[in-house]
Structure 1
């Protein structure tokens, strides 16, 4: 066991230090295998201090999910300039998403794998984040479609399914990109952009595909 550091620091800073250690431990070892002893040692604090700040392993995991979900959502929103053309907005949003998931693989593992497989409490936290991102992507697609069709009354319900599909594809592609050596965030974003934009462009120009 390493030496536990006792240097005093503000509570908020110490708590973030614990969350950093917890995300790394949960992301790399999984929720069940992660121990509070390992998290405390990695954070450089005592285990009782972790419990004092974050109550339990379950509460600590929930706090990790909320922090990582908020950071990912903010990264995607901050990456998009709503004054740019529709294709550039979607490209920037995808690039922000894949950049974040590539730079925070442990956080993405917590959100995409761990949180979804260890109970409703955790899954609901991720579902809320996903709904927020889907709503944001829906707004992007609606704005582009309204502009293309010159139809200010086009409803979000008409493209909500497209946003769901796009977000689902991005989630799967991020997991693949993080597990595949040599795949960059830019390459992952370009792959999905090439897959999605051609279809979206046809739809926006009034050429939807119809089943035979």
Structure 2
């Protein structure tokens, strides 16, 4: 069997094990058995448990970024449609690979060097969303330092909300929403507020009467 096929089998088995049991509790024996190989072969290919987990994280990071980039590749459409396509691609990917989502969540909480891999992914996804929101703000005539700062903050908030929604959706055992429904939930939540913001209708707390 070609090395790349064998290694993919190992990573598939490892992602499932790490998702179910976490990094510390996952057994290399169980991973080897699930992959249909010997434990020494796993160590021959991937050296250590840490390198195996890192390889899993990097694979899931690369696949998620590729899905988002593919979803937002169409540039000659309005920014809201680009964002909608990107969100649908994101949630379709996370629904199709729930174990991968869990592994990325575990990597964030496992400490270095794993958290650094996920942080780099988040920076890249935030940059994609920032470009889309920035274009939307520019199209609406909301240029300026304030708009740039708000766009950056909104992009971080939107990506965080998408990650949280993906975990929530994948955790549901009954009546789980489709990727399209989850994307619509977030789109309705964020775009209504963005639309008001771009029109200059900013929320302000009501003045207190003393």
The Cα shift of 1:77 comes to 1.0
Does structure 1 residue 161 correspond to structure 2 residue 161? no
1:33-112 → structure 2 map (5 Å cutoff): 33-80=25-72, 81-112=74-105
Q: Which residue of the other structure, out of 185, 203, 210, is the alignment partner of 2:204?
A: 210
**TM-score where L is the length of structure 2:** 0.91
- Deviations along 1:9-44, whole A, 9 cap, x unmatched? 221221111111111111122212211111111111
Partner residue of 1:197 out of 187, 191, 201 = 191
Q: Number of matched residues?
A: 203
Residue 5 of structure 1 is matched in structure 2 by none
Q: After TM superposition, what 4+ stretches of structure 1 lie above 4 angstroms from structure 2?
A: 150-156
TM (normalized to structure 1)?
Answer: 0.90
Structure 2 stretches of 5 or more lacking a match? none
Deviation at 1:116, TM superposition (A): 1.6
Contact in 1 for aligned 2:142/2:198 (Cα 8 Å): no
C-alpha distance after superposition, 1:144-196 (max 9, x if no partner): 11111174998744411000100111111111111122221111111111100
SS, match of residue 108 in structure 2? coil
Q: Unaligned 5+ residue runs, structure 1?
A: 1-8
Task: Determine which structure has the larger helix proportion and give its number.
Answer: 2
2: CA distance, partners of 1:111 / 1:145: 31
